[in-house]
Amino acid sequence: MAKVANAASAGIALRADMALVERARAREAGACRLLIKTYNQRLYRLARSIVRSDGEAEDVLQEAYMRAFTHLDGFRGDSALATWLSRIVINEALGRMRKRRRTAAVEAPESYGENRAGGASIIPFPLGSSEADPERTMAQRQILHLVERATDDLPDIYRTVFVARVIEGLSMEETAELLGIKPETVKTRLFRARRLVREQIEKEVGPVLMDAFPFAGRRCERLTKAVMLRLGFAD
């Protein structure tokens, strides 16, 4: 029953993909905008997992979108639109990495060191409502920064698998199809990536935990006011 439901859901998704692509082929502005906004986050994270730079990941996306819109006739629905676009992004990102390595190989050692020195920026994970307490928001940012840094530090062959499976939530089969590897390879790489991320975070989590479960700011004021009112004290 579950397989039938999944197949039906996949069929509906494919028809929606094809309809969107047909509208985009017809140069319908709304369809092009919808396509971009629908897949921006996934594609950005995949690109960034390879190039490890916010700005370069955005450049990769722009080039990949241009390539995709130029070759929309090449989308036949053999795989999901998300997978088709992701492959274009990955190919563009890997191409840039190969070009970067070739360029680095002919540069002076000291120049190469300077180019490599730029640290990766923070991935813009959502932090929830802007109305959140400043203390909790700060704690969230610290934790996310640890995850981002640990992800950036993963070896190349593990990083994209980790981003696809853990951050984007793709299935084992979807990740294998996307990267052109066996599901067993995805499983092995994901296991090692999780272990490396966990080890990295455990090294640094102590200082962050000092700020965990914050109870200050508006939360503190709210509770204080409620107790004072119950005790019979006016505002």
Question: pLDDT tens-digit profile of 159-177?
Answer: 999 999 988 889 999 999 9
Residue 118 and residue 228 share a domain = no
Percent of the chain with pLDDT strictly greater than 90: 39
d(CA 230, CA 155): 57
Which of residues 103, 124, 145 is at a domain's end?
124
Q: What is the CATH number of the domain that holds 235?
A: 1.10.10.10
Tens of pLDDT, residues 129-142:
444 556 566 666 77
d(CA 207, CA 204): 7
Q: Identify the domain containing residue 144 by its residue range.
A: 137-235
- Backbone Cα Rg of the chain: 23
Q: Is the pLDDT of residue 193 over 90?
A: yes
Q: What is the pTM of this model?
A: 0.64
Tens of pLDDT, residues 50-65:
998 888 989 999 999 9
Structure tokens that stand for 184 in this block: 């067993």
Has residue 130 been placed in a domain? no
Number of domains in the chain: 2
Q: What is the CATH number of the domain that holds 30?
A: 1.10.1740.10
